[in-house]
C-alpha cells in the first residue's frame, strides 16, 4: 500500500495556504485602528472604543446566503455573494440601532479552489466596507465528499454596538405612526427556492438568457447583491426618532413587520406607494402567483422599513431626498392586528 496523504483524502493544504495569500489584500482593506490582529491568528482581536457610550450593548447576528448560491454556481461568478452574506447580518443588527464593529465568515466547500475563495472573500470585504465593519476572522473548510464539485456554503457573523438608551426595539410605536420604505436592489437573498423553481424547473430558462423586461440577463438580475443600509439608516437615526426598523428578509411583509410592533397593533401597507421592481412583476405574471404569496415571500422592492411618528414623516423623507436616497411612505400603524394590503 502506498503512503497515504491528506491530499489523497481530498484535502489540499497547499491550495488552502494559497487561498489565504490571495484573500489577504481584500481582508486588510477592511481593517481599522481597532483591529489588533493580522490574518492567520487563532482569534480576531478588536479593541472597543467606548467613548460616548454610557451603557454600551453588544448586538450580534448571524445568517447565510441560502440557495442564491446556486445562481453563483450556474454563472461561475463568486465575487458578489459575499456582500449578500454581510448584508443579511449587518442589516439585522442595524434594526436594533447598532453600529457594526466587526464581521467573521465561514465558507465550506468540497474541493477548495483558491481563486473562488478569494473572490468570495472579496465580496465579503466589499460588504464590510459598505457596512463600515472590519473583517477580523474567518474559516475555510475543505470537506471532500460532503459538497458537490464546484459548490460551497457560507455563513456570516456580525457584532455591533449601541448605547442602551438608544436601542431600537419598537416599544414606543403607536397607532398613526408612519412606515418609510427604502428601496431594495432586487430580490436580495430570500425566496430563491421559489425563484429557481419558477425560472429553471418550470420554465426552463437559462442564466444567460436576456430578459427585455429586466434590461439584462436573468442571471445578472438574480445575482444582484443585497443592499446594505448601514450608512443611510445611521444618518437618519442621528437626526430623527426612529421607533422601529424592519429588515425585509424571509417571510416578506407578513412575517417581518409584526416583529417590531407592540402587541395589539398592526399596519396598513399602501399598494402603489412605491416602485415594485420589474423582477417581481415578471415572477408574479409568469408564475401566476397571488399577491399575498408575493408579499409573503419577497421584499417587493422595499429592503428596509423605518417607523417614525406622523409629525416626523415628511421631514424624514425630505432629509433622505437631500441624501439622494429614494424613500417612500408605504403605510401606517393601525390598532388592528396583522398586516393589511390596501390600495393607496
pLDDT of 126 reads: 97
CA 276 to chain centre: 19
- CA–CA separation, 152 and 300 (whole Å): 28
pLDDT surpassing 80 at residue 39 = no
pLDDT of 214 reads: 96
pLDDT surpassing 90 at residue 40 = no
- CA–CA separation, 101 and 210 (whole Å): 40
> Which of 12-16, 113-117, 161-165 has the highest mean predicted lDDT (pLDDT)?
161-165
Up-side HSE of residue 142: CA atoms within 13 Å toward CB? 18
The domain ranges of the chain are: 7-166, 178-343
pLDDT, one tens digit per residue, over 312-323 is: 999 999 999 999
Question: Confidence class of residue 241 from pLDDT cuts 50, 70 and 90?
Answer: very high
pLDDT, one tens digit per residue, over 179-220 is: 999 999 999 999 999 999 999 999 999 999 999 999 999 999
pLDDT surpassing 80 at residue 47 = yes
Nearest CA to 124 out of 15, 26, 50, 206 is that of 26
Architecture of domain 7-166: 2-Layer Sandwich (3.30)
Question: Confidence class of residue 293 from pLDDT cuts 50, 70 and 90?
Answer: very high
Average pLDDT estimate for 294-314: 97
Give the sheet arrangement for strand 302-308, strand by strand.
244-247, 302-308, 178-183, 328-334, 266-271, 338-343
pLDDT surpassing 80 at residue 73 = yes
Q: CB neighbours (10 Å) of residue 325?
A: 17
Count how many residues are written for the chain.
Answer: 344
Average pLDDT estimate for 306-315: 97
Q: What is the mean pLDDT of the chain?
A: 94
Nearest CA to 86 out of 188, 163, 232 is that of 188
- CA–CA separation, 97 and 108 (whole Å): 31
CA 153 to chain centre: 16
> What CATH superfamily classification does 178-343 receive?
PurM-like C-terminal domain (3.90.650.10)
pLDDT surpassing 90 at residue 78 = yes
As a 3-state breakdown, the chain gives helix, strand, coil percent values, each rounded to 5, of 40, 25, 40
Average pLDDT estimate for 277-297: 97
pLDDT of 21 reads: 81
Q: CB neighbours (10 Å) of residue 26?
A: 22
pLDDT of 344 reads: 72
pLDDT of 96 reads: 97
pLDDT surpassing 90 at residue 17 = no
pLDDT surpassing 90 at residue 9 = no
Question: Confidence class of residue 263 from pLDDT cuts 50, 70 and 90?
Answer: very high
pLDDT > 90 in the chain, percent = 85
- CA–CA separation, 311 and 178 (whole Å): 9
pLDDT of 137 reads: 92
Question: In sequence order, what are the beta bridge partners of 135?
Answer: 103
Output the CA torsion sign for 119, 120, 121, 127: positive
The model's pTM:
0.95
pLDDT surpassing 90 at residue 18 = no
**Residue written as grid cell 436594533:** 96
Nearest CA to 232 out of 242, 218, 223, 222 is that of 242
Q: Is 158 helix (H, G, I), strand (E, B) or coil?
A: strand
Average pLDDT estimate for 330-341: 95
pLDDT surpassing 80 at residue 6 = no
- CA–CA separation, 307 and 13 (whole Å): 50
End-to-end CA distance of the chain: give it in Å, rounded.
Answer: 76
pLDDT surpassing 90 at residue 37 = no
Distances (CA, A) of 181 to 43, 167, 251, 280, 304: 38, 20, 17, 17, 6
Amino acid at each position: 500500500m502506498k503512503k497515504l496523504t491528506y491530499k489523497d483524502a481530498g484535502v489540499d493544504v497547499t491550495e488552502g495556504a494559497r487561498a489565504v495569500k490571495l484573500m489577504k489584500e481584500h481582508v486588510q482593506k477592511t481593517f481599522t485602528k481597532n483591529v489588533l490582529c493580522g490574518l492567520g491568528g487563532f482569534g480576531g482581536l478588536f479593541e472597543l472604543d467606548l467613548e460616548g457610550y454610557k451603557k454600551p450593548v453588544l448586538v450580534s447576528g448571524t445568517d447565510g446566503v441560502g440557495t442564491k448560491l446556486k445562481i453563483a454556481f450556474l454563472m461561475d461568478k463568486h465575487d458578489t455573494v459575499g456582500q449578500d452574506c454581510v448584508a443579511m447580518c449587518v442589516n439585522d443588527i442595524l434594526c436594533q440601532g447598532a453600529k457594526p464593529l466587526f464581521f467573521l465568515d465561514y465558507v465550506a466547500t468540497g474541493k477548495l479552489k483558491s481563486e473562488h475563495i478569494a473572490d468570495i472573500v472579496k465580496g465579503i470585504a466589499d460588504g464590510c466596507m459598505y457596512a463600515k465593519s472590519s473583517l477580523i476572522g474567518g474559516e475555510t473548510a475543505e470537506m471532500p465528499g460532503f459538497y458537490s464539485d464546484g459548490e460551497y456554503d457560507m455563513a456570516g457573523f456580525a457584532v455591533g454596538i449601541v448605547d442602551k438608551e438608544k436601542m431600537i426595539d419598537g416599544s414606543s410605536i403607536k397607532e398613526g405612526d408612519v412606515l418609510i420604505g427604502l428601496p431594495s436592489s432586487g430580490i436580495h437573498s430570500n425566496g430563491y427556492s421559489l425563484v429557481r423553481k419558477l425560472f429553471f424547473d418550470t420554465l426552463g430558462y437559462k442564466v444567460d438568457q436576456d430578459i427585455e423586461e429586466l434590461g439584462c440577463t436573468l442571471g445578472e438580475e438574480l445575482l444582484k447583491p443585497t443592499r446594505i443600509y448601514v450608512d443611510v439608516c445611521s444618518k437618519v437615526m442621528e437626526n430623527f426618532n426612529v421607533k422601529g426598523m424592519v429588515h425585509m428578509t424571509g417571510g416578506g411583509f407578513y412575517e417581518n413587520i409584526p416583529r417590531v410592533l407592540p402587541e395589539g397593533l398592526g399596519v396598513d401597507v399602501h399598494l402603489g406607494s412605491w416602485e415594485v421592481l420589474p423582477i417581481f412583476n415578471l415572477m408574479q405574471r409568469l408564475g401566476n402567483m397571488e399577491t399575498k404569496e408575493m408579499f409573503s415571500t419577497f421584499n417587493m422592492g422595499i429592503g428596509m422599513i423605518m417607523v417614525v411618528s406622523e409629525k416626523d414623516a415628511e421631514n424624514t423623507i425630505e432629509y433622505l431626498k437631500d441624501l439622494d436616497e429614494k424613500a417612500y411612505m408605504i403605510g401606517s400603524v393601525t390598532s388592528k392586528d396583522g398586516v393589511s394590503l390596501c390600495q393607496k
